[in-house]
Amino acid sequence: MPDYNVLLNQISEILAPFVKKGMTLTEDSELVAELGLTSLQVMELVEHIEDELDISFPLNILPDIRTVRDLALRLEKITNP
Amino acid sequence: MSLFDKFQPIAEVREELDRLGVTPFGAVTERLLSATEGIVSGHRVILAGTNNYLGLTFDPECVEAARTAAATEGTGTTGSRLANGTYAAHAALERELAEFFGCRSAIVFSTGYLATMGMSSTLAAPGDVILLDADSHASIYDGCRLSGAELVRFRHNDAADLEKRLRRLRGRGANVLIIVEGIYSMLGDRAPLAAIAALKREYGAYLLVDEAHSMGMLGERGRGMVEETGIESDVDFIVGTFSKSLGSTGGFCVSQRPELELVRFATRAYIFTASPSPSVIASTRVALRIVRDRPELRQQLWDNAQRLYDGLKAQGFRVGPDASPVVAATVDDRAQAIGFWNQLMHRGVYVNLVMPPATPTNSCLLRCSVSAAHTTEQIDTILGAYAALKLSDDDL
């Protein structure tokens, strides 16, 4: 099962198209506030990650995820139950 | 930071609409001339956005039943079903609904929203898993969130994606509740219920189907998409509304499961609200009988739906995948969609303008709902108004 750093790299690749010019994606980057993802894009991102990792991502935990780090930590928990 | 900052996006849309002088979300129906015509925001229009699928809102028998009930039982029950709000007619309607669907029992709710929200919030609980179609109605999402169950979406109408998620849950030992709709309210497309029912059986899940936009419209007896698909024995719960084909307000759940009677006493959306008014129950009972006894209404509805769907498709509009009483044209540009809605009003046709996030994508919808009460001439007038749409409002 992928560890935190592997997941972080995967997330960075998936998010690359959303990173604006002059911006650097870090673990502290905020998905909505900084990257400007709409609610629809967040759901598309979730579907993409679900397919990549062959997991189901419960909607209940979305409100707790603000940053790239939050997302990687949650995915680590889901993929390493 | 103000308490109201989160409403700023709404304020911006309202300002844009005010600047354009259009009122798609504040349209006032000033007078109703019939089930299919009215005066809306100063325009005499054909009503093509009302969900009045069978046109029963002005049915003389329904109106008379409502009038009599108001005169003899009063204007409201002033209480919950578990307190003083159960009248003989509420219990009778529940018996009649159960009989109509061939089910063991039924619960009547005060609105359709409360029926879907109440059932989805009560059936599942923490430790359970809900798998819901991504395009489910807001009332289903709200109920699922309230339930505390683990909530997982599957791609809209994608049985293969649902199976992936069921497979991932294997071995967990959790109860799984699948929630789908019969016909989806925005694009009028149908759920692949046969495939979903097969998965439900294979994985030992429970299945709830919302027939809000299909009850009274599909199936030999008008029961809906579940009957049409022939999977009645696979469905644990059917929920629906009185506010569309039955022309009143309220909602219901029917089930073969004896446990539904226990769910009744645990459903807060049923317990902590006033029961439907006597007039509403009375007209709904008559409307249910009409659905049963007058299948020709369904034929008329589908003839109209097919005519509008084919006509808009032939004009080049991007409509949903299936001909259905919901006929929605997708318009990518928001300003264009608002302009089209406004032009349709000026040409005597009222439709629903639907904008994100109420739409399944980032696009807008000009959504028509067809009625059995529309005449062929009215359908052609609607088509004529669409055909005359211009890219700019200048030549109105």
Mean confidence (pLDDT) of chain B: 95
Q: Is the pLDDT of residue B393 over 70?
A: no
- CATH architecture of the domain with residue range A4-17+26-79: Orthogonal Bundle (1.10)
Higher pLDDT: B39 or B23? It is B39
Which superfamily does B11-47+295-387 belong to? Aspartate Aminotransferase, domain 1 (3.90.1150.10)
**Mutant choice from A57, A60, A77 vs B, greatest count of B C-beta within 10 A:** A60
Residue B309 confidence (pLDDT): 97
Which pLDDT value is given to residue B392?
A: 58
**B22 Cβ contact list (under 8 Å, min separation 6):** B338, B341, B342, B345
The answer to whether the peptide bond before residue B357 is cis (omega within 30 degrees of 0) is: yes
Instruction: Specify the pLDDT at position B391.
Output: 66
State how far residue A13 is from chain B, nearest Cα, in angstroms: 23
Give backbone dihedrals phi and psi of B3, rounded to 5 degrees, phi first.
-55, -25
Q: Does domain B60-293 have CATH number 3.40.640.10?
A: yes
Closest CB to A47: pick one of B155, B356, B361. B155
A57 touches chain B (CB under 8 A): yes
SS3 B196: helix
pLDDT for position B396: 39
Q: Quote the percentage of chain B above a pLDDT of 70.
A: 98
Max CA distance (Å), chain A:
37
- Parallel, antiparallel, or unpaired: how do β-strands B237-241 and B251-255 relate? antiparallel
CB B245 within 8 A of CB B370: no
Within B21-111, where are the H helices? 60-73, 88-101
C-alpha angle A49/A50/A52, rounded to 5°? 60
Low-confidence residues of chain A, pLDDT below 70?
A: 1
Provide the pLDDT for residue B305: 97
Domain residue ranges in chain B: 11-47+295-387, 60-293
Indicate whether B395 pLDDT > 50. no
With beta carbons less than 8 A apart as the criterion, state whether B235 and B102 touch. no
Cβ B258 vs Cβ B57: under 8 Å: no
A47·B362 Cβ contact <8 A? no
Cross-chain residue pair A60–B155, CB shorter than 8 Å: no
Tokens of B331: 């318009």
The answer, yes or no, to whether residue B23 has pLDDT greater than 80, is: no
State the amino acid at position B393 in one-letter form: D
CA of B139 to nearest chain A CA: how many angstroms apart?
A: 16
pLDDT of residue B3: 94
pLDDT digits (tens, 9 = 90+) for B180-227: 999 999 999 999 999 999 999 999 999 999 999 999 999 999 999 999
Interchain pair B151, A59: CB under 8 A:
yes
